[in-house]
Structure 1
Amino acid sequence: MLSVEGLVAGYGGTEILRGLTMTVEPGEIVAVLGSNGVGKTTLNKVLSGIVPAGAGQVRFAGEVITGASPQAIVDLGLIHVPEGRKIFPNMTVRENLVLGSYRRARGNRAANLERVFETFPRLRERDRQSAGTLSGGEQQMLAIGRGLMGEPRLLILDEPSLGLSPLLVEEMFQLIRRLNADGLAIMLVEQNVMQSLDVASRAFILENGIFALHGQASELAAAPDLRRAYLGM
């Protein structure tokens, strides 16, 4: 579904991504893991068309999208839920959700809105409430719900557990499992290493702009190098 080959990108004269190669297959959860500042968000922005690639190629659903506009990429069904939620705080929950279908799936808006409310009952309860007055966990639900409104073929989740309580983090990973069980391919970009490896089938460990490790998630979870780097073991 998604194929990245030799991807190089950065800002100005600073190279952040240094030749990344990876794939995401249909119906798969792939985790991209790493600490702050290693290039995770830059990768997401390149895939979404926000930051241009300096070299390499990105294909999605058989089409080359390197250099495509963000609008064209959304139209194809690659939808990015950004780090920090990026909701519109002065708009209502419902208005935020409706914006998720602005480019894609507009004809299915009512059905998709009902589906989001079934997935997130708390959003139904607050559908006329200003989004900025929601709790952090509710805002994350809203950001994901907005992404689902566009009927994604691949959903990129950028740090969905960031800033949440341990209980809400657990709920977030359970949600990711449920969405994937319905057939949705997910690229999970996280600092939460072990819980991400628990839900993903494959994973890529990003360090200083390159993939230092990659493979089956279960194997990486037991890898001594990863456990030393992230768990101090």
Structure 2
Amino acid sequence: MLRVEDVVAGYGGVPVLRGVSLEVAPGEVVAVLGANGVGKTTLNRTISGLVRASSGTITFEGARIERAAPPAIVRAGLIHVPEGRRIFPNLTVRENLELGAYARARENRTANLERAFATFPRLRERAGQLAGTLSGGEQQMLAIGRGLMAEPRLLILDEPSLGLSPLLVEELFALIARIAAQGLAVMLVEQNVVQSLALAARAYVLENGAVVMQGPAAELARNPDLERAYLGL
């Protein structure tokens, strides 16, 4: 479904990604792990067209997208839920969700809104509430729900557990597992190693802008080199 091959990208001529390659198959949950600053968000932004790759190829469902504009990538069904949630605080929960269907699946907005409320019942309770007044966990649910409104073929989640309490992290990962169980491909980009590996089928570990470990998640979880690669020890 998604294939990234030898991608180099960065900012102002300074490379952040140094030949990254990875794949996500249909219906698969893939974790991309790494400490802060190793290039995870740059990878997401490059896949989404927000950062232009200087070399390498990115293919989504058989079509090359490394030169495509972000709106075209969204319309193809590759939906990126960014780090920091990026909700619209002065709009209601319902309005935020409806904006998720602006570029894709607009004709199914009513049905998809009901599905988002079914997935996140707390959002239904707060449908008329301003999004900026939600708790951090509720805002993350809203950001994911907004992404689901576009009927994604692949959902990229960038640090969804960042800043949440341990209890909310548990709840969030359970919700992501439910979404993935419906057959949606998910690329989970996280610092939370233990829970990400428990959820994913396969995983990649980034260090200094390059993939240093990859394989089945269960095998990586047992690999003693994971701490060295992840923590740089």
> Under TM normalisation by the shorter chain, which class is it?
over 0.9
Amino acid at match of 2:182: D
Contact map agreement 2:213 2:229 (CA 8 A) in 1: no
Contact map agreement 2:6 2:57 (CA 8 A) in 1: yes
TM-score (norm 1): 0.98
What is the Cα deviation at residue 194 of structure 1?
A: 1.0
Amino acid at match of 1:76: A
Q: Please state whether the residue corresponding to 1:37 is helix, strand or coil.
A: coil
Residue 85 of structure 1 corresponds to: 85
Q: Please state whether the residue corresponding to 1:17 is helix, strand or coil.
A: strand
What is the Cα deviation at residue 230 of structure 1?
A: 4.8
Residue 12 of structure 2 corresponds to: 12
Residue 162 of structure 2 corresponds to: 162
Provide the rounded CA distance (Å) in 2 between the counterparts of 1:230 and 1:216: 16
Provide the rounded CA distance (Å) in 2 between the counterparts of 1:175 and 1:128: 22
Provide the rounded CA distance (Å) in 2 between the counterparts of 1:10 and 1:219: 31
Residue 125 of structure 2 corresponds to: 125
What is the Cα deviation at residue 227 of structure 1?
A: 3.3
- Structure 2 residue 3 is the aligned partner of structure 1 residue 3: yes
Amino acid at match of 2:10: G
What is the Cα deviation at residue 70 of structure 1?
A: 0.4
Q: Please state whether the residue corresponding to 2:177 is helix, strand or coil.
A: helix
What is the Cα deviation at residue 122 of structure 1?
A: 0.8
Identity of aligned residues (%): 70
Q: Please state whether the residue corresponding to 1:6 is helix, strand or coil.
A: strand
Residue 221 of structure 1 corresponds to: 221
Residue 144 of structure 2 corresponds to: 144
**Cα-Cα RMSD:** 1.3
- Structure 2 residue 175 is the aligned partner of structure 1 residue 175: yes
Contact map agreement 1:221 1:227 (CA 8 A) in 2: no
Amino acid at match of 2:111: A
Amino acid at match of 1:131: A
Contact map agreement 2:206 2:230 (CA 8 A) in 1: no
What is the Cα deviation at residue 68 of structure 1?
A: 0.3
TM-score (norm 2): 0.98
Q: 4+ residue stretches of structure 1 with deviation over 2 A? A: 227-233
Alignment of 1:60-139 (within 5 A): 60-139=60-139
Query: Which structure 1 segments of 5+ residues have no match?
Result: none
Contact map agreement 1:6 1:56 (CA 8 A) in 2: yes
Provide the rounded CA distance (Å) in 1 between the counterparts of 2:227 and 2:100: 38
Contact map agreement 1:117 1:124 (CA 8 A) in 2: yes
Query: Which structure 2 segments of 5+ residues have no match?
Result: none
The aligned length equals: 233
Residue deviations 1:51-101, cap 9 Å, x none? 000000000011100110000000000000000000000111011000000
